[in-house]
Structure 1
Amino acid sequence: MDVPAPGGSAPVISLRGAHAVLGARPVLRGIDLTVGRGEVVALLGANGSGKSTAVRAAIGRVPLTSGELELFGTPLRRFRDWRRVGYVPQRSTAAAGVPATVREVVSSGRLARHRLRPLGRTDRAAVQRALELVGMAGRAKDSVSALSGGQHQRVLIARALAGEPELLIMDEPLAGVDLASQHVLADALRDQVASGASVLLVLHELGPLAPLIDRSVVLRDGRVERVARPEQLHDPACHPHDSEVVHPASAVPRIETGQLS
């Protein structure tokens, strides 16, 4: 069972007894997951443990077969204020092959606030700030098709940040990203946390994000196996039966020859 963060206010995410099925295969098997206001929670676990399904369920993209989901204290079926939520999917598909500039992609993060109306001065300022946070202001006029993998990931994160969300959900933001970009993304995330944002991250390794993490929730076979502080993840006493240990300061995922950086 996930242990909720202390505090009197309702959590920004509350999953209780969540079950979900993809095809005919059970993927989530009764998980409890909470993210408190201003809290940074990392979802960890091996491939197939249910991490990405859990975050997609948390924003309603994967329906629950049973269990309950609330966002900002409101049941999902009644929740409408999606501008409060920023979602960064796994890289590889967003904006792929689209003839758009970096600024155009990041500007699309403001659409939930304006329903396709022209952007105003406040919107343009938010877009510029998001570009600066991820170190892409100098590439604003470039086509996204000309970017490296790490730069592309920065753009996806800037798009979410441009909407000024209260809750930021990121699915493997460090996967296949070079070390320089990882540190840029960590700095951008630190800025959001300092402003009061809540964050839910799917990660394989904490890397440069380790100092920002309040709780790490480890999944195995669609269940919450344990909840730990980042510094506990490499302590054998906390998980004596594990064959796979995630280290907070472990090396950056290796970039294979030919992989985008």
Structure 2
Amino acid sequence: MSSVIPPPAPAPVGTASTTPSAEPLPARATSPRTPPGATAPGTPPAAPAVRLTDAVASVGGRPVLRGVDLTVGPGEVVALLGANGSGKSTTVKAVIGAVPLDAGALELFGTPYGRFRSWRRIGYVPQRTTAAGGVPATVREVVSTGRLPQHRLGPFRRRDRSAVDRALAAVGMLDRAEDGVAGLSGGQHQRVLIARALVGEPDLLIMDEPMAGVDVTSQQVLADILRREVGRGCAVLLVLHELGPLESLIDRAVVLRDGCVAHDGPPPESVGQHALPGHDHVHPHADPTPPGLLA
């Protein structure tokens, strides 16, 4: 992994020779908002939560990312859009270390990936799958695993239990805390996974298609959660199938095409992946949370 690169001011990024030409995307109107990551005068700017530079990666021997640049600043909400197979999920898996880079560099909170150890600062929600993978477990037990990075498998303390209760309350699942996850609906499973990511009170929240296949109520719960997390300064990276109820929260959209950045800037107006070339509606399930986030 390369040495630390001094953080530049956030700006539209892309690739030089590998990015295919793309037609301009219409930008939606945005309401005035405090710039993400804004600091008091005279205070040095905080390092980006994510800086992925000229990333090249393969999955199963097949090239997927072909020189992707991606920056997520403190308190910024960035949406990854693109057709299936464009590299969205591979990009977030590269960020959390589940897919190794063949070339390029990754920094998390200003630290090169190879030296990064503060995994408790990152909350990750994979593509929707069952919350327990067939293992008998209660809602509380699943969410509690999100506290493991806080104490390295030590005994649970009162503040851990309180954090679990707060996360469950935030997603509207506190009354189901002692229920088995096997009896939950798809939207409720998703809420449990979101609570597991929130329980560590992360500084960076990464979600891979959190809106896919969930009911309208769960979508609105997610929008409310993200609004609160952004309000406390959490950076958010979302793989989205469409903007939907989250549209007003998005600061930037990064559109991928064939493993390259085709657009980095204001979100396209009232479109999502549906309007991008080559879109289909297949949403394969992702692997469980990578070991690094539970270490």
Task: Output the TM-score relative to the length of structure 1.
Answer: 0.87
Residue 3, structure 1, aligned to residue 40, structure 2? no
Deviations 1:38-83 (A, max 9, x none): 0010000000000000000011110000000000000000001111
Question: In structure 1, what residue type is equivalent to 2:168?
Answer: L
Residue 114, structure 1, aligned to residue 151, structure 2? yes
Q: What residue number does 2:206 align with? A: 169
Which of 116, 120, 124 is equivalent to 1:83?
A: 120
Contact 1:10–1:72 (Cα < 8 Å) also in 2: yes
- Secondary structure of the residue that 1:142 maps to in structure 2? coil
Structure-2 change in CA distance of 1:233 and 1:34 (3 Å): farther
Question: In structure 1, what residue type is equivalent to 2:74?
Answer: R
Q: 1:202 and 1:183 mapped to 2: Cα distance?
A: 17
Aligned residues: 241
Contact 2:243–2:271 (Cα < 8 Å) also in 1: no
Q: 1:23 and 1:221 mapped to 2: Cα distance?
A: 16
Structure-2 change in CA distance of 1:22 and 1:2 (3 Å): farther
Q: 2:185 and 2:130 mapped to 1: Cα distance?
A: 14
Considering Cα pairs closer than 8 Å and 6+ residues apart, tell me whether 1 or 2 has the greater RCO: 2
Where does the alignment leave 5 or more consecutive residues of structure 1 unmatched? Answer: 236-240, 246-252, 254-261
What is the aligned-residue RMSD (CA, Å)? 2.2
Q: 1:2 and 1:96 mapped to 2: Cα distance?
A: 40
- Secondary structure of the residue that 2:67 maps to in structure 1? strand
Question: In structure 1, what residue type is equivalent to 2:263?
Answer: R
Which of 203, 221, 229 is equivalent to 2:258?
A: 221
Q: 1:174 and 1:205 mapped to 2: Cα distance?
A: 8
Residue 14, structure 1, aligned to residue 14, structure 2? no
Question: In structure 2, what residue type is equivalent to 1:98?
Answer: V
Q: 2:11 and 2:64 mapped to 1: Cα distance?
A: 17
Q: Which moved more, 1:112-121 or 1:126-135?
A: 112-121
Identical-residue share of aligned pairs (%): 66
Q: What residue number does 1:136 align with? A: 173
Structure-2 change in CA distance of 1:19 and 1:2 (3 Å): farther
Where does the alignment leave 5 or more consecutive residues of structure 2 unmatched? Answer: 1-9, 14-35, 39-44, 282-295
- Secondary structure of the residue that 2:238 maps to in structure 1? strand
Q: What residue number does 1:249 align with? A: none
Q: What residue number does 1:74 align with? A: 111
Listed as ranges, the matches of 1:135-214 within 5 Å are 135-214=172-251
Using the TM superposition, give the Cα deviation of residue 92 of structure 1 relative to its aligned residue in structure 2, in angstroms: 1.5
Q: 2:269 and 2:133 mapped to 1: Cα distance?
A: 38
- Secondary structure of the residue that 1:205 maps to in structure 2? coil
Q: What residue number does 1:41 align with? A: 78
Q: 1:68 and 1:201 mapped to 2: Cα distance?
A: 20
- Secondary structure of the residue that 2:106 maps to in structure 1? strand
Structure-2 change in CA distance of 1:6 and 1:188 (3 Å): closer
Contact 2:85–2:258 (Cα < 8 Å) also in 1: yes
Contact 1:2–1:217 (Cα < 8 Å) also in 2: no
Task: Output the TM-score relative to the length of structure 2.
Answer: 0.77
Contact 2:37–2:76 (Cα < 8 Å) also in 1: no
Q: What residue number does 1:259 align with? A: none
Q: Which moved more, 1:84-93 or 1:98-107?
A: 84-93
